Amino acid sequence: MSRLWVERGVYRPRPARGLAGLPVPEIPEVSRGRFNIRDEDPVEAPFNWRQFRRLLGYLRPYRLHVAGAVVLMLVTAATRLAVPYLLKLAIDQVLDPSGPGALLPPAERLRLINLYGAAFLGINAVGLLAARGRILLSARVGQQALHDMRRQLFTHIQRLGFDFYDRRPVGKILVRLTNDVNALQDLLQNGLVNTISDLFMLLGIVGMMFYLHPGLAAATLVVLPALVILSTRLRRRIRRAWQAVRAKLANINAHLNESIQGIRVTQAFVQERNNIRFFRGMNHDNWRSWMAAAKASALFGPAVELTGAVGTAMVFWYGAHLLRTGALLVGDIVAFNTYVGQFWEPISRLGQFYTQLLVAMASSERIFEFLDARPDVADAPGARNMPPIQGRVRFEHVHFAYEPGRPVLHDIDFEVEPGQTIALVGHTGSGKTTITALLSRFYDPTEGRILIDGIDIRTVRLQSLRSQMAVVLQDTFLFQGTVADNIRYGRLDATDEEVEAAARAACAHDFIMAMENGYQTEVRERGSRLSIGQRQLISFARAFLADPRILILDEATSSIDTQTELLIQEALRRLLKGRTAFVVAHRLSTIRSADRILVLDHGRIVESGTHDELYARRGVYYRLLQAQYRHLAAPGGD
Amino acid sequence: MSVFRHLRPYYGPYRLTLVLGIVSMALLTAVGLLRPFLVQQLIDRVITQGRYDLLPLLAAAVIGVALVRGVFNFGRQYFGELFGQNAVLELRNALYVKLQYLGFAYYDKAQTGNLMSRLTGDVEAFRMFLSFGIIYLCDFAFMIGFGLAAMLAISPELTLVTFAVSPYLAYVSYRFDRLVRPTFSRIRKALSDLTTTIQESISGVRTVKSFAREAHEIDKFEQRNLDYRDRNLDASRLWARYFPLLEMGGNLATALLLWYGGRLVAAGEISLGSLVAFFSLVGYMVWPIRELGWILNLYSQSVAAGERLVEVLHAPETVTNRQGAVPLGRARGHVRFEGVSFAYDGQNPVLQDIHLDAPPGSTIALVGTTGAGKSTLVSLIPRFYDVTAGRVLVDGYDVRDLELESLRRNIGFVLQETFLFSASVRENIAYGRPDASMDEIVAAARRAQAHDFIMELPRGYDTVVGERGLGLSGGQKQRIAIARALLMDPPILILDDATASVDMETEQKIQRALAEVMKGRTTFVIAHRISMLQQADEILVLDRGRIVERGRHEELLRRGGFYRRVYDIQFRDAAAAPVVSANGRYGRAPGKVLPLKPGREGSS
Among the partner-chain residues B16, B554, B572, the one whose CB lies closest to the CB of A23 is B16
- Residue A199 CA to residue B242 CA, distance in Å, equals 26
Q: Which residues of B touch A488 (CB under 8 A)?
A: none
Q: Please tell me the distance in Å from B9's CA to the nearest CA on chain A.
A: 7
8 Å CB contact of B94 and A11:
yes
Least confident of A526-530, A601-605, B9-13, B176-180: A526-530
CATH 3.40.190.10 is held by the domain B2-155+270-313: no
Read off the pLDDT of residues A278-299 as tens digits, 9 standing for 90 and up: 899 889 999 999 999 999 888 8
Mean pLDDT of B245-271: 87
**DSSP element (H, E) containing A401:** strand A393-403
In order of A162, A358, B208, the CA distances from A150 in angstroms are: 21, 20, 19
Rounded to the nearest 10 degrees, how much is the dihedral formed by the CA atoms of A224, A229, A232, A236? -150
Q: How many CB atoms lie within 10 A of CB A466?
A: 23
Taking CA atoms, what residue in B is nearest to A154? B218
Among the partner-chain residues A316, A533, A542, the one whose CB lies closest to the CB of B42 is A316
Least confident of B128-142, B413-427, B466-480: B466-480
Taking CA atoms, what residue in B is nearest to A336? B39
Among the partner-chain residues B47, B67, B196, the one whose CB lies closest to the CB of A306 is B67
Read off the pLDDT of residues A8-29 as tens digits, 9 standing for 90 and up: 778 888 888 887 788 888 888 7
Give pLDDT, residue B380. Answer: 95
CA atoms in the 13 A half-sphere facing the CB of B187 = 16
Query: B295 falls in which pLDDT band (50, 70, 90)?
Result: confident
Give pLDDT, residue B82. Answer: 94
Task: Compute the count of residue pairs across chains A and B with CB atoms less than 8 Å apart.
Answer: 528
8 Å CB contact of B100 and A9:
yes
Q: Please tell me the distance in Å from A447's CA to the nearest CA on chain B.
A: 23
A477: left (phi over 0), alpha (psi -120 to 50) or beta: beta
Q: Which residues of A touch B226 (CB under 8 A)?
A: 147
Q: What angle do CA A182, A185, A188 make, to 5 degrees?
A: 140
Give pLDDT, residue A75. Answer: 94
**Strands in B328-429 per DSSP E:** 335-342, 351-358, 363-368, 389-394, 397-398, 411-414, 423-424
Look over chain A and give the mean of its residue pLDDT values, rounded to a whole number. Answer: 85
Nearest residue to A16 via CA among B296, B78, B90: B90
Q: Which residues of B touch A294 (CB under 8 A)?
A: 77-78, 81-82, 85
Read off the pLDDT of residues B348-362 as tens digits, 9 standing for 90 and up: 888 999 999 999 999
Cβ distance B319 to B404 under 8 Å? yes
In order of A37, B11, B13, the CA distances from B90 in angstroms are: 21, 8, 10
8 Å CB contact of A631 and B89:
no
8 Å CB contact of A630 and B593:
yes
Query: B594 falls in which pLDDT band (50, 70, 90)?
Result: very low
Q: Which residues of B touch A15 (CB under 8 A)?
A: 13-14, 86
Residues in CB range of B105: below 8 A, 6 or more apart? B318, B319, B344, B385
Among the partner-chain residues A254, A469, A625, the one whose CB lies closest to the CB of B578 is A625
Cβ distance B530 to B567 under 8 Å? yes
Give pLDDT, residue B48. Answer: 84
Domain A393-630 class, CATH top level: alpha beta
Q: Which residues of A touch B421 (CB under 8 A)?
A: 35, 258, 262, 265
For chain A, the 3-state helix, strand and coil shares in percent, each to the nearest 5, are 65, 10, 25
Question: When comparing pLDDT for A251 and B490, which is higher?
Answer: B490
Query: B385 falls in which pLDDT band (50, 70, 90)?
Result: very high
Question: When comparing pLDDT for A191 and B407, which is higher?
Answer: B407
- Residue A507 CA to residue A565 CA, distance in Å, equals 11
Give B123's DSSP letter: H
Q: Which residues of B touch A117 (CB under 8 A)?
A: 255-256, 258-259, 262
Q: How many CB atoms lie within 10 A of CB B332?
A: 15
Give pLDDT, residue B331. Answer: 92
Read off the pLDDT of residues B547-591 as tens digits, 9 standing for 90 and up: 999 999 999 989 888 888 878 777 665 555 444 333 333 333 333
Cβ distance B298 to B129 under 8 Å? yes
Interface test with B, best of A86, A111, A158 (most B CBs within 10 A): A158
Domain ranges of chain A: 51-212, 393-630
ipTM of the complex: 0.84
Cβ distance B10 to B87 under 8 Å? yes
- Residue B550 CA to residue B556 CA, distance in Å, equals 7
- Residue A32 CA to residue B423 CA, distance in Å, equals 12
- Residue B467 CA to residue A261 CA, distance in Å, equals 10
Residues in CB range of B245: below 8 A, 6 or more apart? B172, B176
Q: Which residues of B touch A33 (CB under 8 A)?
A: 427
8 Å CB contact of B229 and A147:
yes
- Residue B196 CA to residue A265 CA, distance in Å, equals 27
Written as one string, the DSSP assignment of A112-169 is HHHHHHHHHHHHHHHHHHHHHHHHHHHHHHHHHHHHHHHHHHHHHHHHS-HHHHHTS-
Q: Which residues of B touch A299 (CB under 8 A)?
A: 74
- Residue B34 CA to residue B43 CA, distance in Å, equals 15
Among the partner-chain residues B55, B97, B581, the one whose CB lies closest to the CB of A633 is B581
8 Å CB contact of B384 and A268:
yes
Mean pLDDT of B260-288: 87
Give pLDDT, residue A550. Answer: 93
Read off the pLDDT of residues A43-80 as tens digits, 9 standing for 90 and up: 556 678 889 999 999 999 999 999 999 999 999 999 99
Superfamily of domain A51-212: ABC transporter type 1, transmembrane domain (1.20.1560.10)
8 Å CB contact of A316 and B58:
yes
8 Å CB contact of A120 and B200:
no
Read off the pLDDT of residues A77-112 as tens digits, 9 standing for 90 and up: 999 999 899 989 988 888 887 777 778 888 888 898
Domain ranges of chain B: 2-155+270-313
Cβ distance A638 to B557 under 8 Å? yes
8 Å CB contact of A298 and B56:
no
Give B470's DSSP letter: B
Counts for chain B of helices (H) and strands (E), in that order: 25, 12
Query: B189 falls in which pLDDT band (50, 70, 90)?
Result: confident
Least confident of A208-217, B470-479, B521-530, B577-586: B577-586
Cβ distance A236 to A42 under 8 Å? no
Long-range contacts of the stretch B558-561 (C-beta < 8 A, 24+): none
Query: B599 falls in which pLDDT band (50, 70, 90)?
Result: very low
Among the partner-chain residues A271, A527, A557, the one whose CB lies closest to the CB of B431 is A271
Mean pLDDT of B480-508: 81
8 Å CB contact of A254 and B468:
yes
Name the residue type at position B374.
K
Q: Please tell me the distance in Å from B389's CA to the nearest CA on chain A.
A: 23
3-state secondary structure (DSSP) of residue B477 = helix
Give pLDDT, residue B467. Answer: 58
Give pLDDT, residue B596. Answer: 32
Cβ distance B399 to B392 under 8 Å? yes
Q: Which residues of A touch B52 (CB under 8 A)?
A: 320-321, 324
Residues in CB range of A170: below 8 A, 6 or more apart? B199, B202, B203
Among the partner-chain residues A12, A25, A534, the one whose CB lies closest to the CB of B89 is A25
8 Å CB contact of B384 and A264:
yes
Mean pLDDT of B75-98: 94
Give pLDDT, residue A386. Answer: 92
Give pLDDT, residue A527. Answer: 44
Cβ distance B28 to B73 under 8 Å? yes
Helix (H), strand (E), coil (C) string for A449-505: EEEECCEEHHHECHHHHHCCEEEECCCCCCCCEEHHHHHHCCCCCCCHHHHHHHHHH
Size (chain A), residues: 638
Answer whether residue A130 shows pLDDT above 90.
Answer: yes
Cβ distance B358 to B396 under 8 Å? no
- Residue A26 CA to residue B34 CA, distance in Å, equals 41
8 Å CB contact of B100 and A252:
no
Mean pLDDT of A323-344: 86
* Residues paired with B411 in a beta bridge: B492
Cβ distance A635 to B535 under 8 Å? no
Instruction: Check the CA dihedral B478-B481-B485-B486 and report its sign.
Output: positive
Answer whether residue A528 shows pLDDT above 70.
Answer: no
Q: Report the percentage of chain B scoring pLDDT > 90.
A: 43
For the sheet with B389-394, list strands across it. B351-358, B335-342, B389-394, B397-398
Taking CA atoms, what residue in A is nearest to B553? A635
8 Å CB contact of B211 and A467:
yes
Q: For residue A421, which phi and psi values (nearest 5 degrees)? A: -105, 125
Among the partner-chain residues A94, A155, A260, the one whose CB lies closest to the CB of B99 is A260
8 Å CB contact of B511 and A631:
yes
Answer whether residue B366 shows pLDDT above 70.
Answer: yes
- Residue B181 CA to residue B200 CA, distance in Å, equals 29
Give pLDDT, residue A37. Answer: 64
Q: Please tell me the distance in Å from B108's CA to the nearest CA on chain A.
A: 9
- Strand A393-403 and strand A447-452: the pairing is antiparallel
8 Å CB contact of A633 and B17:
no
Interface test with B, best of A151, A190, A223, A263 (most B CBs within 10 A): A263
Read off the pLDDT of residues A173-215 as tens digits, 9 standing for 90 and up: 887 888 888 888 888 888 888 888 899 999 999 999 999 999 9
- Strand B389-394 and strand B335-342: the pairing is antiparallel
Burial pattern A245-274, b for ≥16 Cβ within 10 A else e, equals bebbeebbebbbbbbbbbbbbbbbbbbbbb
In order of A160, A393, A534, the CA distances from A253 in angstroms are: 30, 50, 35
Q: Which residues of B touch A174 (CB under 8 A)?
A: 195, 198-199, 202
Query: A638 falls in which pLDDT band (50, 70, 90)?
Result: very low
Q: Which residues of A touch B225 (CB under 8 A)?
A: 147, 150-151, 154
Read off the pLDDT of residues A593-625 as tens digits, 9 standing for 90 and up: 889 999 998 889 999 999 889 888 888 888 877
Q: Report the percentage of chain A scoring pLDDT > 90.
A: 32
* Residues paired with A597 in a beta bridge: A423, A609
* Residues paired with B526 in a beta bridge: B366, B496
Taking CA atoms, what residue in B is nearest to A274? B434
**DSSP element (H, E) containing B271:** none
Helix (H), strand (E), coil (C) string for B61-83: HHHHHHHHHHHHHHHHHHHHHHH
Q: Which residues of B touch A254 (CB under 8 A)?
A: 422, 467-468
Interface test with B, best of A11, A167, A367 (most B CBs within 10 A): A11
Burial pattern B98-129, b for ≥16 Cβ within 10 A else e, equals bbbbbbbbbbeebebeebeebbeebbbbbbbb
Question: When comparing pLDDT for A82 and A523, which is higher?
Answer: A82
Q: Which residues of B touch A628 (CB under 8 A)?
A: 504-505, 508, 577
Taking CA atoms, what residue in B is nearest to A86? B258
8 Å CB contact of A109 and B97:
no
Query: B247 falls in which pLDDT band (50, 70, 90)?
Result: confident
pTM: 0.81
Mean pLDDT of A214-229: 86
Taking CA atoms, what residue in B is nearest to A155? B218
